[in-house]
Structures are given as structure tokens and as C-alpha cells.
Structure 1
Amino acid sequence: MKNNTGSVQTRHSIYLLLAAFFWGTTFVAQDMAMEVMQPFTFNVCRFLLGSMVLIPVALLTGRIDPLSVNYRGAEIPGVSTPPEERRKHLLLGGFCCGLCVFLAGGFQQVGIVYTTAGKSGFVTALYIILVPILGLFIGRKCTPMIWLSIAIAIVGFYFLCIKEDFSVNRGDLITLGSSFMFATQILTVDHFSPKCNGVQLSCLQFLVAGLLSLIPAFVFENPEFAAIQSAILPILYSAILSSGVAYTLQIIGQRGLNPTLASLLMSVESVISVLAGWIILGDTLTGKEILGCVLVFAGVILAQMPAGKPKR
């Protein structure tokens, strides 16, 4: 049973790392799209298309949820509850997660206008600090190894984002709002994912996020079909791989994992965003910023080390 527990936890960790890869490379797509279109218009296209991509899969998994057992081998509570109860969890969870994704995506997309793809990825990943802090208020505890990993990552973020005069640019500050909302979304997923179908939850959260994004898109922006056509490739990449695939991997992968550990795994997106920005967009990093990347990555790796038997 112990080996099976470890293998399932490893598989779920791989799901989250794959999600992080898609999110990290999507920062490049987001940056490219901002050359020709406005932030909330991009999010409308991205989220609604992501929801549409998931509809067939969500319908197919309506009655069968293959991941109905958590990594401890115990039955997930939601599987044994009546369909009406699961439907309530799905609708409430879809709205709450969708609201978080709408706010997080909005802050992130506006922030990336004023900063680089790589910097945006790292500032967004500050949710690794916020998740355990917010988790304390709902009774979530972490091992000393996790807190050490977070401390190392914080130092890394300092080297990456703080300038010599201790200032932070406007884009980084706006993106901090995205980080807070992503932390809230991770904890929300942790609460609802065991109680309903993961693909359906992901599909519904993007439908909600896309519909909510329509409001600022038409109030503050001027959506143009020509701009959407010009950015069709970044939109498709963001919608299918980042929204449709990656967020579904997150919802499934978080089952049975401590949300703080999950956030550390997903924060690898920050390293990937920097590498993708360097390779594809030609973004450059100083020696101090490279050191910051190394420290954040080290913190993520350290969080995977065995921490002994947890206290019962």
C-alpha cells in the first residue's frame, strides 16, 4: 500500500509539473498577443474557447470519474454522495473557481503589458508563499521542509524582481494581485475537487471566467475581430493547452496532495516562463536574476525531499 501511495502521489506530481510547463510557455503566447489586442478581450477568447474544448470530455466523464481514489487509497467523499449533492458542489465550485480565475487572469494579463513574460511568471508564482499563509487560516499545516523551501524561494524572488534601489515596476505590482487570486484558486480547488468531477469543474470555471471577462472587455476595451484574427495562434495555444489541458491537470493532480506542496510544484512555471522568454522572445536576464531562478527551482526540488513520518 505504501508503494502504491507513493506511485499515485508521484503521478499526481507529474500532472502538476505538466500543467506548470504549459502555463510557463503560455506567458510567451500572452506577451505576443498583447502586441495586437487588449488584455480582457484576450481572456474572453482564451477562457470561453478553453471551456468549449472541454465540453465533449466533460460530457463523456459525466457518469464515470476514473480518479475517484486519493493517494492514501481512501475513497474520495464526493464519489459516495448523491448526484444532487455533487451537482451542488460542481456549480458552487465552478463559480468560485471561475471568479478566482477571472480576477487572477485579469491582473496577470494587464500586468504583462508592463513587464516581461519571464518576470510575470515569477511574480505570479509568489502564490507558493501565499498558499501556506492563507492555509493557516483554514487549519492547513506544513512540514518544516516545506517552510524551508518557501524561505529559499522567497530569497530567489527577491533576486529576480527587486531592483538595486528596492523598487518594483508597475507591471510586477499588478501581477501581485494575480498571485493572490491564484493562491485563492488553489485552495478553492483543494476544497471542491474531491467532491465533483474534475473535468466538469475545469470546464465550468472557464465558462464563468470567460463570461465575467466580457464585462470589462466591453466596458473598458474595444474588441476587434481583426485583432483576434492576428493573435489566433497565441489564443489557441492559451485556450487549449494552458486553459483546457493545464487547469484540468491541476484539478486532477491536486487530489490527495497538500495544497502547499501542489503550489510549489506548479511554481516551476516561473522557471519555464523565463526560459521560454529567453529562447523565443529574446528576453535577457542579469546574473542576479539568474541566481534568483536557481534558488526558486532549488526550493521546489527541496520540497519534494522526504520529511519523515507525519504526526498523526
Structure 2
Amino acid sequence: MRRDLLLGLLYLNLATLFWGSTFVLVKDGLQTLGPGQINFVRFVIAMLVFLPFLFRRDARLWWAGLELGVMLFVAYLTQTVGLQYTTASRSAFITTLYVVALPMLLGLLGQRLGWPIWLAAGLAVAGVGLLSYDGSPPNPGDLWTLGTALAYALYIWRLELFARRFSTLPLTGIQMLTVALLSLVWMLWEKPVWNTADFPYFSLLYLGLVASALCIWLQALGQRRVPAPQAAVIFTLEPVYAAAFAYILLGERLGLQGLIGAGLIVAATLISQLRSPKPYPEQVTPEV
């Protein structure tokens, strides 16, 4: 039903809205903690939210959650490491290249996509470039963040399948557990030093509870209803929401280039819904 598709779009937009505030928080946290420490703490917090849903004895559910969790770990790790070397705006631009990588991947797998998706992907990348790209020279962080785009393209593709097949609460909880454990291994390899004096308590609580637990669950709910290529285009609204937060909270204003970029992204999200396939007719698992 069309109502299901609209509800899925609402879930994805809410997740993207909250994600719009995370680049600056992670960048700030890196002043005190390493990438492994940030990801370990935020995903332990997120995992605790879903602890009651981790006692499911379903091997297929666990394999699905583990697969998604590994891809999610790679995406968050490469983005966090990249932010050590590049700016938040440049990271946002490179990350959104998944909106092009995903249709290319689906095309290689034999799936035909209509012209609205390809047009929307091109407009979205151009819009994010105008809105976020700072024109600074290439740096090692760019290469790390390119890994984020590729990992997230794979994640969005696989999540569409698993979110329709399994209950989203335990599926999300297993992902949080997987990312927390892998982040623990990475953190120990970094040989971290904990500085309690400047520990970013608020930032990590927000990253764990809102940007991880809530947003990844909302993404799973949304992708039960919205095909992966359309979902990828919607996620490019992230820098638009980030700019809106900066305007409301910090008084920062977009120049003409930024306004044009934001307009292109909004147009891309609308175009991506043209001739969209019908939403999935039935849910094979409970809503949550």
C-alpha cells in the first residue's frame, strides 16, 4: 500500500535527520579519544538498549545480524578514522558516494533500475558536493572515507533483504553487539589511553542512544518498505539537515552555492520516488 511506502520514507527521513548532527560530534570526540574507543563506547551503549531482544535462538537471524554488523563496523570505523585527517564536510561528501555505488552494484547483479534513480543519484552527488565539499587538497582521510561509501552501499543492499525477513529489534541488537565486539578488538589494538577529565560523555550518549540505536532501528523499519536505491537517495539529505542544525543552533548561513546544493538534494529525493515500485505487499515477520 502507498501508506506503507510513505511510512517507510518517514522512518528513513527521521534517521537521516538525527544523523545530520553526528559528524561534528565525532570530530569533537576525536580530540580526546581514538576511533576504536568512540565506536566501542557508542555501540556498547546502543547494544544495551537491545539487550532484551538478544535471546533469540534463530541461527538465520544471527547470521544475518552478524553479516550486517561486520559491514556496519567497516563503515563506521573507516568514517571515524577518516575524520582524523579530513573535515566533517568533506567526509559527508565522500560518504554519500554510496548513492552512486549502490545502483552500480545492483546493475552488475543484473537488476534494472529506472532513469529516475540514476538521475536522482547524479543530482544528489552534485548537490552534496556543492553543499559540503570544501575544496581542500586530497588527504589519507579521503581514502578511508571512500571505504565508508563502499561498505555502506553493501549494507543498504543487504539490509533491504534482511529487514523484510526478520524482526527488526533483534536484528538491530545483533548488529550493535557485533559492532561493539569488533570495535573492542580495534580499540585494544590502538592501545587506548582514557582521559576522564575531558571525556565527551554527552556526545557518546547521543551517538549511542540516538545516532546508533534509534537511527539504525529506524533504518531497518524504513527499508522494509522502501527499495534500497531510493533509500540511498534519501540518506543524502543528511548534509542538508546538518546545515539546518547549524543555522538554527549556531546561526551559520548557507551561501548561494550551498543553497543550490541543498535544492539539488531535495529535488533528487523527490525524483527518486517517480515510477517507484509498489511497496512490499506483505510483512513476513512482526513489525518490530
Within-5 A mapping of 1:44-55:
44-55=40-51
SS of the equivalent of 1:257 reads coil
Q: 1:157 Cα shift?
A: 3.9
1:204 to 174, 177, 181: 174
Paired amino acid for 2:38: F
Paired amino acid for 1:179: A
Listed one character per residue, the Cα deviations across residues 55-101 of structure 1 (whole Å, up to 9, x for unaligned) are 23x269x6xxxxxxxxxxxxxxxxxxxxx7xx222111111111011
Within-5 A mapping of 1:1-312:
5-56=1-52, 58=53, 87-160=58-131, 167-224=137-194, 226=196, 230-277=199-246, 280=249, 287-304=256-273, 306-307=274-275
Distance 1:189 1:239, change over 3 A: same
Any conservation in 2 of the 1:162–1:168 contact (CA below 8 Å)?
no
Give the CA RMSD over aligned residues.
Answer: 2.6
Q: C-alpha separation between the residues in 2 aligned to 1:16 and 1:260? A: 13
Distance 1:279 1:120, change over 3 A: farther
Paired amino acid for 1:307: R
Distance 1:282 1:242, change over 3 A: same
SS of the equivalent of 1:92 reads helix
- Quote the sequence identity (%): 29
Q: C-alpha separation between the residues in 1 aligned to 2:218 and 2:151? A: 19
Give the number of aligned pairs.
278
Decide which moves more: 284-293 or 253-262. Answer: 284-293
Any conservation in 1 of the 2:35–2:81 contact (CA below 8 Å)?
yes
Q: 1:129 Cα shift?
A: 1.0
SS of the equivalent of 2:50 reads helix
Any conservation in 2 of the 1:28–1:281 contact (CA below 8 Å)?
no
Task: Tell me the residue number matched to 1:73.
Answer: none
Q: C-alpha separation between the residues in 1 aligned to 2:130 and 2:145? A: 17
Any conservation in 1 of the 2:40–2:181 contact (CA below 8 Å)?
yes
Paired amino acid for 2:23: F
Listed one character per residue, the Cα deviations across residues 265-293 of structure 1 (whole Å, up to 9, x for unaligned) are 12211222333356556777664444333
Any conservation in 2 of the 1:120–1:175 contact (CA below 8 Å)?
yes
Q: Structure 2-normalised TM-score?
A: 0.86
Listed one character per residue, the Cα deviations across residues 240-260 of structure 1 (whole Å, up to 9, x for unaligned) are 011111000111110132110
Q: C-alpha separation between the residues in 1 aligned to 2:246 and 2:83? A: 12
Q: Structure 1-normalised TM-score?
A: 0.80
Q: C-alpha separation between the residues in 1 aligned to 2:95 and 2:207? A: 16
Distance 1:164 1:244, change over 3 A: closer
Any conservation in 1 of the 2:68–2:158 contact (CA below 8 Å)?
yes
Q: C-alpha separation between the residues in 1 aligned to 2:262 and 2:74? A: 26
Paired amino acid for 1:291: I
